[in-house]
Chains A and B, each alone.
Chain A
């Protein structure tokens, strides 16, 4: 036991003296949170919109007023020629245009319907669709306002609610994803590198010749990273709550426990990788390519899994981060208890035991 403590202390020395590792470890989550939270949001805001109002009547003014006051658009009314719209699209100065033809108010009030034209830059279909949705909803709103006095008889008024995320906060979906990603990178890459480094330096031989039990080498290697990963997890949680205004609905204790499970799984993967290679570069590459990429693609926080072809959906099942992502989402955002995530927990536990088993077994056979 005392030997183990001596070893763990040594591992902590390694970690704290290696500035680069520390930077990766704690810089990464901060950078990811900032990036995903502020730069990579899926919401579309501040879209430049050209408005050509050929009607210039009360109704068209009211409608454009509503559009201007929404946070989604930056309007530009300097363009008057229809042909200049495409020019603006090509230059990228505008991504959509609204043309209100002459006689808009008259048609609307007396004719019962009035056409408007919406042009969007379809080269970015997602944005284009979002823009159309925004504009139509503003127009529907305006329509309903007008109809107030003589109420329409059959008006369907859908009331929308985004459950678990009423404000449409884009941070909610990616935070569990970032957690999975960061823990995966930190645990898998750093653990595998730290074991392989001993092999590369030749100190592993010395350790194996010593009476120190080889199994304990792995334990001693894993413990500092377990502690640091937990600190990392808490850092991400802290940033999410205080910087991105995410409320943690479920039990923090359950979150920590599930994260411990995931961290252990990642550590086992790291140890497994370290058994298969003798160079730090290979270990790093393997954990980056083998772990990070699948985590980004198959977890479901960047690309919806439901849209993938079935073979990919099947593959996604073997990515541990996917299960962790589901658990964290359920516990953190929906406030669900263990009763709802036990299946995912079971899968993750199975993965952890399997990889740990393989890692330990291979480590032993390497000796003889």
Chain B
């Protein structure tokens, strides 16, 4: 049995009368690509915020990288990376400055940052652009760079919140290659997405409906269970029952 990096038990978040996340339970294994699906307003982001140490749950328990979400938020933050749906680098900083800044924020020593930064720029093929402002790069490159920066401090888990929004299919494909590579190096990937073809790339997928986890399995088995040809259909069948309207 692989090591569990995220353990969620009956995790609940309530805002007044509104139960955003309703007793969700799941485990995520080390090196797994874990897809987190759900319509807008299903509670994905709230759940993710709790797991990232940005917000406290109302009840239930959860541990991320072995740290408790109630008491050890600081330790959680040191062990995770995060990339949001919004583009998350500084446009008026150069590629190198962005990398050095985020490396510095995670407290890496400067020599280490320099070394890793050089390696990264070479791997991404950005040597010529290293001194250019990030704002001048094409969106696809920015996105790849943002992902690389999110895992720059070698976190145990990286949370990706709809990372491929607005990116062309070719770049998305390349982006997923990077995700696979990161997963192969032992980083656990927790990803939310709207693209159902991306859901197929995940090792396991949860579908959240109205704050609850309605389904959790491999894409293949989910398709079998719901007698669907693709994840799109699976998602549609599950989400159709939603009572909450999208926000």
**Cross-chain contact of B92 among A3, A17, A208 (Cβ < 8 A):** A17
**Bitwise interface map of B from 75 to 95 toward A, beta carbon under 8 Å scored 1, else 0:** 001101011111111111100
Q: Which residue of A lies closest to B74 (CB)?
A: A211
Q: Is A206 an interface residue (CB 8 A)?
A: yes
**Cross-chain contact of B90 among A5, A14, A210 (Cβ < 8 A):** A14
Known interface pairs A2-B107, A10-B93; A202-B101 also in contact (CB < 8 Å)? no
**Bitwise interface map of B from 6 to 45 toward A, beta carbon under 8 Å scored 1, else 0:** 0000000000000000000000000000000000000000
Interface secondary structure of A, over-half rule: helix
**Cross-chain contact of B87 among A6, A9, A14, A202 (Cβ < 8 A):** A202
Q: Is A203 an interface residue (CB 8 A)?
A: yes
Q: Is A7 an interface residue (CB 8 A)?
A: yes
**Cross-chain contact of B101 among A10, A205, A367 (Cβ < 8 A):** A10
Q: How far is the CB of B65 from chain A (nearest CB, A)?
A: 13
**Cross-chain contact of A206 among B55, B84, B97, B104 (Cβ < 8 A):** B84
Interchain Cβ contacts within 8 Å, total number: 79
Q: Is B151 an interface residue (CB 8 A)?
A: no
A205 touches B88 (CB 8 A): yes
Q: Is A209 an interface residue (CB 8 A)?
A: yes
B105 touches A210 (CB 8 A): yes
Alpha-carbon gap, A202 to B87, bound state (A): 7
Q: Which residue of A lies closest to B161 (CB)?
A: A205
B: contact size bracket: 20 to 34
Alpha-carbon gap, A367 to B56, bound state (A): 9
Q: Is A219 an interface residue (CB 8 A)?
A: no
A212 touches B105 (CB 8 A): yes
Q: Is A77 an interface residue (CB 8 A)?
A: no
Q: Is B210 an interface residue (CB 8 A)?
A: no
A367 touches B106 (CB 8 A): no
Known interface pairs A6-B100, A368-B55; A211-B107 also in contact (CB < 8 Å)? yes
Q: Is B53 an interface residue (CB 8 A)?
A: yes
A201 touches B82 (CB 8 A): no
Q: Which residue of A lies closest to B109 (CB)?
A: A2
Q: Is B228 an interface residue (CB 8 A)?
A: no
Binding site for B on A (CB under 8 A): 2-3, 5-7, 9-10, 13-14, 17-18, 201-203, 205-212, 367-368
Between-chain CB contacts (< 8 Å), 19 pairs: A6-B101, A6-B105, A7-B105, A14-B90, A14-B93, A18-B92, A201-B90, A202-B85, A202-B87, A203-B90, A205-B54, A205-B84, A206-B102, A206-B150, A207-B105, A209-B52, A209-B77, A211-B77, A211-B107
Pairs A-B, 10 closest by C-beta atoms = A202-B86, A6-B104, A209-B82, A211-B77, A17-B92, A211-B78, A212-B105, A206-B88, A10-B101, A210-B105
7 further contact pairs, Cβ within 8 A, besides A10-B101, A206-B150, A367-B55: A3-B104, A5-B104, A10-B97, A17-B93, A202-B88, A211-B77, A368-B55
